[in-house]
Amino acid sequence: MEEKQKPTNPEENKKSRRGFLNASAIAAAAAFGAAPKAQAEPGVSPIRVPDAIPNALNTPGKPANWPMRGAQIFARVCKDEGLAALFCCPGNYEIINSIVEEGIPAYGGRTEGSMCSAADGFARVTGEITACSGTEGPGFTNMIMNIAAANAARTPLLVLASNKRIADDDSEMGIQTCYQQPTTEGMRKYGKRLIDPKRVYEYAAYAFRQLKTGVPSPVHLDFPGEISNARFKDASELRYFHDKAKYKTDARPHPDPKRIATLAGMIKAAQRPIIVASTGVFYSRAWDALKAAAEKAEIAVVESGPSRGHFSDAHPLSASTAPGALASADLVIFIGQYSMPNVGECAFSPDAKYVRIDPDASDIGRNWPIDFGIVSCEKAALEALASALPKMTHEAWVAELAAERKKFEDQNAEYYKTGLGYTDAVHPAVMAQELSDFLYRGDLARELTTVVAGGYGIARYMRRYLRAHRPGQICNGAYQYGAIGPDCGYAFGAAAAVQLGAGPQAPYKGAPVVAITGDAGFAYSGMEIETMAKYKMPVVLIVYNNNAWGIMSQGKPVHMYLFQENLRYDKIGESLGARGEYVTKPADFLPALKRSYQIAARERVSTVINCQAKREFWTQQFAPGMLGKVEPGCMAYSH
């Protein structure tokens, strides 16, 4: 029941996707260890990846055996629990080295904060548990903004850091004294400073139980020296050491059948029902159940959350690109909406009935008043609902969704036309429409490319034009926390996920990733271009350069809001081992994008496309100016 997007031909799509995937897999194999493209500058040594890097990457891990150290015991639990990847900077050496030895994919980057966001980005496009790590004081505190962003997005992120020996507590012995646990209070689900070496296995179990049950969120463990370095001859020297099947359950809360029957009745009585499919639908991998329930009774579905694609935008029941339809819904079912909007923050009608399905009973009724609640794992609830619902049709509602989607597309086309009229700089609508056409209406299979939608002002445009056709296709950068800056970190993590083919990224393994950021945001994590180049991640990074923190308005001391003009982020890319493209005219954007994508696919080389815009595009003199948003749906980022 997928809607065709003209002029995409699904058969051609299949062909080109297969062809592309094959080609990129071959390129991926060939590229590992290959010499990077030399920058031909006479007398200047080219940037190169030293052989030591591919050599180390090609060296298989060596899982530990008794006798083991504390760090190795912990790393073993990470492996057994399926930790998908580790992103870190040097520090906390015992732990990170032990994790690598266990054969868990690991990446070392340039700042702990960005590596924390990389782990977050990986999770947002796969649903898998990831970890980040840094050294005790400074490495750990460098991650604070990024942990908070992960917490707001409810990411199952394991935050690891070393710490001073317990024996030196309060002493300021040496350097880096930091009380870590109070620092993450309010931005994590569970935290623990390990103090008894013998309980390292037990606390690893605590951590994974928290990460894998209920509403996910970051878990923070800090490892004083005595813990990582403790030596154990055999299991008898540990407390609480037993088989992993005994410290947890795979059971999930299932819905009360009577409540599912009531909900089915409410859906039957409604004329225009809608499901708001959010974070919990993605993390419980409930996309098939969601589709089955929606199709059975022709229920509209609108997405929200840090990740998009668990319900395809191309489906005739999708309302993610039909903001005009939201006010028509007469029954709204929030599923897995962990960051709950307040009244006014969603465009639904005050006359609609409201239902919430959530694994956490204590959250149901927070912010948005509800008429009916169901406590359940999202997947279990959707499966139960799909089987309880009789076959139903809502023809007029389906037609209204189609009309509202068209209205939205027409408005986007209108913005594009206006944007093309500005020829002295690249307007965001031009970038957004042309990127959208390239990714979804050209030669590429529309579900192929994972996109990190970052930036601030540019994101207001991009979100309207980016489309999600399968789970994890869009990482919604600024979701809830609204942080400017983690984008290059997210991009690295998303690229790592696609290169590994982790979780729902498996069919797209090896494909390039596209990321968008602003010039202010670039400053926080742009050094990770070097990490992309080092690991040969095929990323096309579009920097919207408007010479400003885009929130500038009248009457402010502008020197604090403006940058120098005509800065060259493409040259930063080049100087860090990636390519650079400098785009100053609208007509140059698409060719630069095509070149960058092709080189990413063929050679696994990243590109920074510097798109020169101007800050006046956010003012009312340059229609349409700074755009607002309607939530939920493709524009949503608060909730």
Partner 1 sequence: MKLKTKPSAGIDAVREVLEGYATRGVFRSYSELPAKGAKAMFRFHWLWNAPFTLSFDAGRQAILFEKLLDSVPPGSPVDLSVRRFLTEAAAPGRPEHRRLDPRRIGITVSNRSGALTLRFRAKDGEIEPAVRKAVNLVNELLASHLSMEQPEYLAKVFRLPED
Ligand X SMILES: Cc1ncc(C[n+]2csc(CCOP(=O)(O)OP(=O)(O)O)c2C)c(N)n1
Nearer to Mg ion, 394 or 463 (CB): 463
d(CA 195, CA 14): 55
Residue 577 interacting partner from Mg ion, ligand X, partner 1, none (CB closer than 5 to 8 Å by kind): none
Q: Is 342 in the site for partner 1 (CB under 8 A)?
A: yes
Q: How far is the CB of 183 from ligand X (least distance, A)?
A: 17
d(CA 411, CA 142): 42
For the stretch 348-373, what's the b/e string if a residue is b when 16 or more beta carbons lie within 10 angstroms of its beta carbon? beeebbbbbbbbeeebbeeebebebb
Q: Is 550 in the site for Mg ion (CB under 5 A)?
A: yes
Nearer to ligand X, 113 or 273 (CB): 113
Cα 478 from chain centroid? 10
Q: Is 546 in the site for Mg ion (CB under 5 A)?
A: yes
Residue 178 interacting partner from Mg ion, ligand X, partner 1, none (CB closer than 5 to 8 Å by kind): none
Residues 400, 487, 528, 530: which binds partner 1 (CB under 8 A)?
A: 400
- Identity of the amino acid at 287: W
What contacts 24+ positions apart, CB below 8 Å, involve 386-390? 386/289, 386/292, 386/293, 386/296, 388/257, 388/260, 388/261, 388/263, 388/264, 389/264, 389/267, 389/293, 389/296, 389/297, 390/264, 390/268, 390/296, 390/297
Residues 43, 50, 182, 628: which binds partner 1 (CB under 8 A)?
A: 628
Residue 455 interacting partner from ligand X, Mg ion, partner 1, none (CB closer than 5 to 8 Å by kind): ligand X
H/E/C letters for each residue in 127-151? CCCEEEEECCHHHHHCCHHHHHHHH
Among residues 143, 162, 157, the alpha carbon closest in space to that of 94 is found at 162
Cα 404 from chain centroid? 28
Residue 350 interacting partner from partner 1, ligand X, Mg ion, none (CB closer than 5 to 8 Å by kind): partner 1
Q: Is 351 in the site for partner 1 (CB under 8 A)?
A: yes
Q: How far is the CB of 53 from partner 1 (least distance, A)?
A: 39
Site for Mg ion in 511-540 (CB under 5 A): 518-520
Q: How far is the CB of 420 from ligand X (least distance, A)?
A: 19
Residue 539 interacting partner from partner 1, Mg ion, ligand X, none (CB closer than 5 to 8 Å by kind): none
Q: Is 347 in the site for partner 1 (CB under 8 A)?
A: yes
Residue 485 interacting partner from Mg ion, partner 1, ligand X, none (CB closer than 5 to 8 Å by kind): ligand X
List the 353-358 sheet strands across, edge first: 300-303, 273-277, 331-335, 353-358, 372-375
Q: How far is the CB of 349 from partner 1 (least distance, A)?
A: 6
- Considering only the stretches 6-14, 364-372, 423-431, 563-571, report the one whose residues sit in contact with partner 1 under the rule CB under 8 A: 364-372
Nearer to ligand X, 87 or 637 (CB): 637
- Interaction pattern, residues 247-286, with partner 1; x per rule: CB under 8 A: ------------------------xx--------------
H/E/C letters for each residue in 398-448? HHHHHHHHHHHHHHHHHHHHHHHCCCCCCCHHHHHHHHHHHHHCCCCCCCC
CB 444 within 8 Å of CB 17: yes
- Interaction pattern, residues 467-486, with partner 1; x per rule: CB under 8 A: ---------------x----
Cα 326 from chain centroid? 25
d(CA 384, CA 230): 48
* CB-based contacts of 403, cutoff 8 Å, min separation 6: none
Nearer to ligand X, 73 or 520 (CB): 520
Q: How far is the CB of 519 from Mg ion (least distance, A)?
A: 4
Residues of this chain that bind partner 1 (CB under 8 A): 271-272, 323-324, 326-328, 342-351, 369-371, 400, 456, 482, 551, 553, 620, 626-630
Residues of this chain that bind Mg ion (CB under 5 A): 518-520, 546, 548, 550
